[in-house]
Amino acid sequence: MQAMTLAIAKSCGPGRPKDLEKRAAILEAAKRLFPLSGFEGTSMDAIANDAGVSKLTVYSHFTDKETLFFSAIRENCRQQMPETLFDIDEKGPVRAQLEVIAHAFFALITKPESIALHRLLNSGSSSTDKIRQLFWEAGPQLVKTGLQEFLQKEVAAGQLEIADVGRAASNFFTLLKGEPHMRLMCGCSTPMSERDIDVHIKAAVEFFLRAYTPCPNRVSQIAL
């Protein structure tokens, strides 16, 4: 699976500048159609028609449907959470930076398209283990890696104290998803107001910082 994913990633590079608009149109079509019909239910013909290009053009940019699926998920995540989002500001407070990351992540996972695709993947009716693994590597794993790198830099700068950065990144995203995401997945929630989202995110960040902010007396306090 890892070798296949690397091969897909290498085949996703941009072509000539002349072709970039077509490539972008294909990706936009894929991002619209995969959440509606799932991987199996979305044909390359449908994507080509939606993008306004020929099927041959789709295959010239993406060698197969798996490559296109991987690329669409990765592009969606990078648009919402670009790599620059995880650059640290050594002069700025960690709390503010985490809140910016949190808002971007929460907006990504609560988009109707994201909820729809998660439901399809979890239903098992229109996906395989292979497709679910591709989704994980192109989306959640990509975002987690970005946060891990951010946290590691903050640890090196002495702003955070984390023994297991990978676990901390998972904890952070799990806190952010919480009950609001679960209710959306179950279809029993209306969109949250901006104020409610802000309150939820501030609470998650506060909880996270209480666990990982350097505290010389933490061990002795726990021992007592």
Q: Structural domains in the chain?
A: 2-74 (1.10.10.60), 81-217 (1.10.357.10)
d(CA 77, CA 72): 9
Both tokens assigned to 223: 């021992």
What is the distance between the alpha carbons of residues 108 and 74, in angstroms, rounded to a whole number? Answer: 12
The per-residue pLDDT for 5 is 54
Share of the chain above pLDDT 70, in %: 86
Tens digit of pLDDT for each residue in 46-99?
999 999 999 999 999 999 999 999 999 999 999 999 999 999 887 889 999 999
87 phi/psi in degrees, rounded to 5: -75, 135
Exposure class string for 175-205: b at 16+ Cβ within 10 A, else e = bbbeebbeebbeeeeeebeeeebeebbeebb
Q: What pLDDT score does 215 carry?
A: 75
In the chain, % of residues over pLDDT 90: 75
Task: Read off the pLDDT of residues 94-114 as tens digits, 9 standing for 90 and up.
Answer: 999 999 999 999 999 999 999
Which tokens in the block code for residue 133? Answer: 């693994």
Read off the tokens for 45.
């013909």
- HSE at residue 122, side-chain half, CA atoms within 13 A, is 8
Question: How many CB atoms are located within 10 Å of the residue 49 CB?
Answer: 15
Q: Exposed, middle or buried: residue 57 (CB in 10 Å: 0-12, 13-18, 19+)?
A: middle
pLDDT tens-digit series, residues 6-55: 455 445 555 564 489 999 999 999 999 999 999 999 999 999 999 999 99
pLDDT at 1: 52
Q: Output the pLDDT for position 223.
A: 35
- pLDDT confidence of residue 88: 87
* The pLDDT of residue 15: 52
pTM of this structure = 0.84
Q: What dihedral angle (degrees, nearest 10) is formed by the CA atoms of 89, 93, 97, 99?
A: -170
